[in-house]
């Protein structure tokens, strides 16, 4: 169902009930761009820490607009043995709802816009008929303003936006308006003597309306109802109605209801997100970190500085998340799915050993046809994301004893994937762990190298040619990470570089330390973000205290416990899901395809060892990750108590046939749930 400002109110109940009845729902967003700073390959450096990645995305991606939001709800029909889907495709636009409302600015990135245009994206629908929205602060502000105005009207002291605290007396009417105001008073006096009940004044300026309100409230404290009305041409004029006390009350009541309705209209699309949060339903997305960040940023609150705070807000807004790109990149799927982009994934989960899920579009909803790809329409992308999730979940069910063809979205089989968001292109940290600490891989084989800006990847290959295979992760024009294949080479490289003039080498640890010191210094010097200084992508409302919107924390549910996963990062074209047509390497960043090349090598060389180090270092997190790497999903129990998950050290050695690669396994420690097999 396509939802714009024109049918939003009429559709809202359908949206609410779809969410309420759903087993799970899938979402997807389309944005006006990806990065306003570095290009994508620098934005997603292979050796980012989760904090760095979050900070970069927050800084460089949040001033774009999420202008299309897809939701597809999935409800399992036991009798039909199929999912009933309700896809919604919302067009969203921050149309200012009145003269004092925030006038948001957002960025468009030409390549993203061009890409969406080439996919037939309808910009006119967004800009002409997009549904407005408010974040929680704005909503609170607006409700307070409305309340305040109403109280002041009721007390007969005029409209608050015009009244300064110092002028409670009769209105100060400037000389040049005195004639005009006197004429108005004359007309109103006539209203009391003749048979007319209503007096429509001519359209006039806001300043004149202010004067009229003040004057009439002062001169005629009783017997009049005064209201601003808009003509079809959007001209505002004042309507004066002669009323008795009862009618005055009735009219005030009606006005209040209209005002409430107007506030609700202004909150607009945010109401849908509130409903999702409240439902606590599983929300599935594909490579969904940016979707989640944008959703919170646009419809809840400005993103917190700190990653830990972001995780907490995320759990409030989306109590349960699942990222199909992470799922597809994780064992047992990793071996079967070579390309985890949404479009490719959708094709692959139709083929054996997967089964296309049985789905049916609910009556009254347009059904999407996956044969006619409508990729990058958010509603369609949400729909196929849900399909991918179902296929993969059901595939996991085939390992149960007895095998199950249908796996519910709350099954323990999929639980290990909850609340882990895919981290794109990070070599050794596959996901952001929303409900716990993140993996901390050792990076003592990594060097931070600075060099003249003429250097290209090949120069780095040459510089390190003595050390065999290396991986290069560009940071900017004059710096990159170089990962050596063996840690003990690091000291040799450091030594030989000591007297080099054209380049400089630091260990990863030194680099991190230096960066930390710089940040601490900056915090002392309190460099404010240049963006947002003058209300950028934030409303012009002043928010006295920064913090999460009222009521958000209350809505939190306990974080899902205990699962830990780990592995290497798969490199796929994930950004294409983010409306990025191609890795647009600019000359300056020298992404002469060596970058991707280096990354590809990185995966090859890190597939087995890389992960084990990570696993070790994350032991401190409570439940050790993936102890039994050769164990593939199987089970001898009813759904929800899958053996290999519960006690892999005991039952884990069956079903090795699915495994193609052997890895050195760390010691296994039993824990309640573990990621079945990662990477």
Give the residues across from 69 on adjacent strands. 29, 90
406 or 531: CB nearest a copy of itself: 531
176 or 501: CB nearest a copy of itself: 176
Residue list 369-428, contact with a copy of itself (CB under 8 A): none
96 or 559: CB nearest a copy of itself: 96
State the minimum distance, in angstroms, from the CB of residue 581 to a copy of itself. Answer: 9
User: Which residue from 75, 95, 248, 256 is in contact with a copy of itself, where contact means CB under 8 A?
Assistant: 95
CB neighbours (10 Å) of residue 564?
24
User: What is the DSSP-derived secondary structure letter of residue 643?
Assistant: H
User: Which residue from 454, 510, 520, 522 is in contact with a copy of itself, where contact means CB under 8 A?
Assistant: 454
Question: If binding is defined by CB under 8 A, does position 89 make contact with a copy of itself?
Answer: no
User: Which residue from 256, 456, 504, 654 is in contact with a copy of itself, where contact means CB under 8 A?
Assistant: 456
Q: What is the 3-state secondary structure (H, E, C) of 14-56?
A: HHHHHHHHCCEEEEEEEECCCCCCCCHHHHCCCCCCHHHHHHH
Write out the two tokens for 463.
Answer: 């510089």
What are phi and psi for residue 151, nearest 5 degrees? -60, -40
Residue list 476-505, contact with a copy of itself (CB under 8 A): none
Nearest to 328 by CA among 312, 311, 342: 342
201 or 407: CB nearest a copy of itself: 201
State the minimum distance, in angstroms, from the CB of residue 1 to a copy of itself. Answer: 22
Measured CA to CA, the distance from residue 148 to residue 127 in angstroms comes to 32
Question: If binding is defined by CB under 8 A, does position 576 make contact with a copy of itself?
Answer: no
User: Which residue from 193, 372, 530, 558 is in contact with a copy of itself, where contact means CB under 8 A?
Assistant: 530
State the minimum distance, in angstroms, from the CB of residue 37 to a copy of itself. Answer: 5
Nearest to 365 by CA among 121, 133, 75, 23: 75
Q: What is the side-by-side order of every strand in the sheet holding 446-450?
A: 470-476, 479-484, 446-450, 504-507
17 or 100: CB nearest a copy of itself: 100
Contact region for a copy of itself (CB under 8 A) — 203-211, 392-400, 420-428, 509-517? 203-211
Contact region for a copy of itself (CB under 8 A) — 224-232, 315-323, 452-460, 563-571? 452-460
- In a 3-state reduction of DSSP, which class is residue 677? strand
State the minimum distance, in angstroms, from the CB of residue 138 to a copy of itself. Answer: 12
State the minimum distance, in angstroms, from the CB of residue 54 to a copy of itself. Answer: 19
78 or 166: CB nearest a copy of itself: 166
Cβ atoms of 44 and 425 within 8 Å: the answer is yes
Measured CA to CA, the distance from residue 209 to residue 131 in angstroms comes to 30
Question: If binding is defined by CB under 8 A, does position 122 make contact with a copy of itself?
Answer: yes
Nearest to 92 by CA among 344, 297, 318: 297
Nearest to 429 by CA among 185, 161, 615, 170: 615
User: Which residue from 81, 194, 202, 206 is in contact with a copy of itself, where contact means CB under 8 A?
Assistant: 206
User: Which residue from 190, 462, 486, 516 is in contact with a copy of itself, where contact means CB under 8 A?
Assistant: 462
Question: If binding is defined by CB under 8 A, does position 103 make contact with a copy of itself?
Answer: yes
Write out the two tokens for 68.
Answer: 């299309």
Residue list 20-49, contact with a copy of itself (CB under 8 A): 32-33, 36-39
State the minimum distance, in angstroms, from the CB of residue 507 to a copy of itself. Answer: 26
Cβ atoms of 494 and 446 within 8 Å: the answer is no
- In a 3-state reduction of DSSP, which class is residue 162? coil
């Amino acid at each position: 169902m396509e939802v714009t400002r024109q049918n939003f109110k009429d559709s809202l109940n359908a949206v609410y009930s779809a969410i309420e009845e759903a087993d799970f729902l899938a979402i997807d967003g389309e944005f006006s761009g990806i990065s306003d700073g570095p290009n994508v390959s620098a934005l997603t450096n292979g050796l980012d820490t989760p904090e760095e990645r979050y900070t970069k995305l927050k800084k460089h991606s949040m001033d774009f607009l999420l202008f299309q939001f897809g939701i597809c709800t999935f409800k399992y029909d036991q009798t039909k043995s199929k999912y009933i889907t309700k896809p919604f495709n919302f067009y969203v636009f921050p149309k200012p709802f009145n003269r004092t409302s925030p006038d948001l600015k957002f960025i468009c990135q030409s390549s993203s816009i061009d890409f969406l245009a080439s996919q037939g994206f309808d910009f006119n629908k967004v800009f002409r008929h997009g549904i407005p929205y408010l974040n929680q602060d704005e909503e609170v502000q607006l409700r307070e303003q409305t309340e305040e105005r109403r109280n002041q009207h009721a007390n007969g002291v005029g409209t608050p936006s015009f009244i300064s605290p110092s002028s409670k007396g009769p209105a100060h009417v400037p000389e040049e308006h005195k004639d005009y105001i006197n004429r108005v008073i004359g007309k109103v006096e006539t209203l009391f003597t003749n048979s007319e009940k209503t007096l429509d004044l001519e359209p006039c300026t806001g300043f004149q309306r202010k004067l009229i309100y003040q004057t009439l409230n002062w001169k005629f404290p009783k017997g009049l109802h005064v209201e601003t009305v808009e003509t079809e041409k959007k001209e505002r004029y004042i309507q004066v109605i002669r009323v008795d006390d009862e009618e005055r009350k009735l009219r005030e009541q009606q006005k209040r209801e209209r005002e409430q309705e107007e506030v609700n209209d202004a909150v607009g699309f945010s109401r849908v997100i509130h409903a999702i949060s409240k439902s606590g339903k599983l929300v599935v997305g594909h490579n969904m970190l940016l979707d989640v960040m944008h959703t919170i940023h646009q419809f809840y609150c400005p993103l917190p500085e700190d990653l830990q705070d972001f995780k907490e807000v995320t759990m409030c807004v989306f109590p349960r998340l699942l990222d199909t790109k992470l799922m597809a990149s994780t064992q047992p799927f990793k071996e079967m799915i070579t390309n985890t982009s949404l479009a490719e994934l959708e094709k692959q989960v139709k083929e054996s050993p997967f089964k296309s899920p049985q789905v049916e579009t609910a009556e009254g909803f347009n059904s999407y046809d996956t044969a006619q790809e409508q990729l990058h329409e958010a509603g369609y992308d949400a729909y196929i994301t849900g399909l991918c999730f179902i296929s993969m979940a059901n595939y996991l069910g085939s390992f149960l004893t007895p095998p199950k063809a249908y796996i519910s979205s709350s099954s323990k089989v999929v639980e290990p994937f909850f609340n882990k968001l895919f981290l794109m292109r990070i070599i050794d940290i596959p996901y952001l762990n929303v409900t716990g600490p993140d993996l901390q891989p050792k990076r003592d084989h990594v060097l931070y190298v600075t060099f003249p800006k003429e250097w290209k990847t090949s120069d780095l290959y040459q510089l390190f040619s003595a050390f065999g295979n290396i991986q290069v992760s560009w940071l900017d024009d004059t710096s990159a990470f170089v990962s050596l294949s063996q840690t003990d080479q690091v000291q040799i490289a450091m030594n030989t570089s000591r007297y080099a003039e054209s380049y400089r080498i630091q260990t990863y640890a030194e680099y991190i330390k230096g960066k930390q010191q710089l940040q601490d210094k900056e915090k002392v010097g309190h460099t404010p973000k240049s963006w947002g200084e003058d209300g950028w992508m934030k409303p012009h409302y002043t928010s006295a205290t920064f913090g999460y919107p009222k009521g958000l924390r209350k809505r939190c549910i306990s974080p899902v416990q205990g699962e830990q996963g780990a592995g290497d990062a798969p490199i796929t074209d994930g950004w294409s899901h983010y409306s990025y047509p191609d890795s647009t390497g600019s000359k300056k960043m020298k992404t002469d395809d060596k970058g991707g090349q280096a990354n590809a090598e990185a995966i090859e060389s890190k597939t087995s060892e890389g992960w084990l180090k990570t696993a070790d270092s994350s032991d401190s997190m409570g439940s050790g990750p993936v102890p039994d790497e050769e164990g593939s999903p199987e089970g001898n129990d009813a759904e929800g108590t899958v053996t290999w998950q519960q006690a892999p050290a005991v039952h884990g050695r069956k079903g090795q046939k699915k495994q193609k690669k052997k890895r050195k396994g760390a010691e296994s420690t039993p824990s309640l749930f573990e990621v079945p097999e990662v990477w």
